[in-house]
Amino acid sequence: MDCDHQPTLDEITECLVALAEGRLTRDEADRWAARWVAEDELAWDALSWWALNLLHGIDLPAAGSGGYLHDDEQIHTWLAELRTRRVM
């Protein structure tokens, strides 16, 4: 995913979908999100900020297990929650 403008909630959602479907690696999702989280001059709505911060750090390893801090099931749970919160 690449864009030169502040991503919309649709674009953030698409990044999470691509991650859940395996079309985007955890490293790619983290790097993409980190770019936007680090930008101090941007204003975010609460839902976009929440979702963006889920992606930032998604590649963090779990202590001692060799896996990730947040597993694939957690990613799918977050995606379902994001979809629910979008329609509220």
- For 59, residues 6+ apart whose C-beta sits below 8 A from its C-beta are 25, 26, 27, 29, 30, 68
The structure's pTM equals 0.89
> Is 50 a member of any domain?
yes
End-to-end CA distance of the chain: 27
> Is 81 a member of any domain?
yes
| Predicted confidence band of residue 66 (pLDDT cuts 50, 70, 90) | confident
Which candidate, 20, 22, 25, places its Cα nearest to that of 51? 20
Q: How many domains does the chain have?
A: 1
- Give 27-63 pLDDT, tens digit per residue: 999 999 999 999 988 999 999 999 999 999 999 999 8
> Is 4 a member of any domain?
no
Burial tier of 16 (Cβ tally within 10 Å: 0-12, 13-18, 19+) = buried
